[in-house]
Chains A and B, each alone.
Chain A
Amino acid sequence: MELAAAKMIGAGIACIALVGAGIGIGNVFGSYLSGALRNPGAAATQTTNLLLGFALCEATGLFGLVIALIILFT
């Protein structure tokens, strides 16, 4: 019983990693928008970097989520 409770708590703690991913993704898009509004001409050339930054950011948070899922379901 205690083991099951500890697993649940551990899974919850592992999900804290998603906080960082949320902040990171917000930062990526926010910085892109503020840059794009200052210099709209250069905005289209940076979409690759935008998507790359988004994906790299999101992945770091998902590492934590996968740990949580592994704890819960294995």
Chain B
Amino acid sequence: MALNPMEQFTVRPLFAEPVLHIAGHPIYFTNQSLLMVIVALAASLFLTLAVKPGRLVPTRGQSMAELSYEFVANMIHSASGEDGLKFFPFVFTLFIFVLCSNFFGMVPGSFTITSQIAVTFSLALLVIALVIVTGFVKHGIGFLKLFVPHAPWYLLILLVPIEVISFLTRPISLSVRLFANMLAGHTMLAVFGGFVVSLGAAGGIFTGLAIAPMLLIIAIMLLELLVAFLQAYVFAILTCIYLNEALHLHDHH
């Protein structure tokens, strides 16, 4: 194996000097921090500047911003009902951040923030913490009824532990889903890129054959663009579904 396809995921400090020390631990400004700053700046600048003039007939940029707003608002409304719209700023920020991180990661040579389990797990913990706080604020101790489905008592002995475990594994599955999709996709692109390089270097007829993995990379790239959007969407809609459970427990709205 000539090139290590996992090399693209290494986090490197950009400056030799640590930016600050927290309790004796040096905090470096890494390539990941840089991409995070770029993503946050680009997303917030685009969304604020595009709608600032408030044109009646929107330009392309403005209608993109408005469409994403309506898309997320509809998603929250359908998944968690009318009172889920209180959480619109949170879900919208989460969606746009994950979406932009995924798309910025697709640029060749850049760094995919969401391919780091630390980042996705922090986001997932944030979501679960919000769900728990919302549930207890809204229902008080009655929030624990979430773990008791409508069933005869002898089934509850089995069902309650299952419900508790499924609730506790949510941050893990939520974070690993996004992380694994990004990691697998980018590794696959790197492996096929390695095929192109080694075929091209082989000389003779093999150099011409290098076009085949090249075409495949283009197809995979398109698939990865779809996955990048889909994973951001799934992350946001699962947040809405978890929030819906915290807001309405088991009763259907």
A42 at the interface (CB under 8 A from B): no
In Å, the complex CA distance between A56 and B178 comes to: 11
Contacting pair A55 B177 (CB below 8 A): yes
Q: Which residues of B contact A63 (CB under 8 A)?
A: 176, 180
Contacting pair B234 A48 (CB below 8 A): no
Contacting pair A52 B183 (CB below 8 A): no
Partner of A59, one of B4, B6, B75, B173: B173
- How big is chain B's contact interface, by range? 20 to 34
Q: What is the minimal beta-carbon distance from B188 to any residue of chain A, in angstroms?
A: 9
- How big is chain A's contact interface, by range? 10 to 19
B110 at the interface (CB under 8 A from A): no
Contacting pair A66 B184 (CB below 8 A): yes
Closest to B233 in A: A51
Q: Which residues of B contact A66 (CB under 8 A)?
A: 176, 179-180, 183-184
Q: Which residues of A contact B233 (CB under 8 A)?
A: 51, 55
Q: Report, nearest first, the 9 A-B pairs whose CB atoms are least far apart.
A: A62-B180, A59-B177, A55-B234, A73-B6, A66-B180, A65-B184, A62-B184, A55-B230, A62-B181
Known: A52-B237, A55-B233. 20 other contacts (CB 8 A): A48-B75, A51-B230, A52-B234, A54-B230, A55-B230, A55-B231, A55-B234, A56-B177, A59-B176, A59-B181, A62-B180, A62-B184, A63-B176, A63-B180, A65-B184, A66-B183, A66-B184, A69-B6, A69-B187, A73-B6
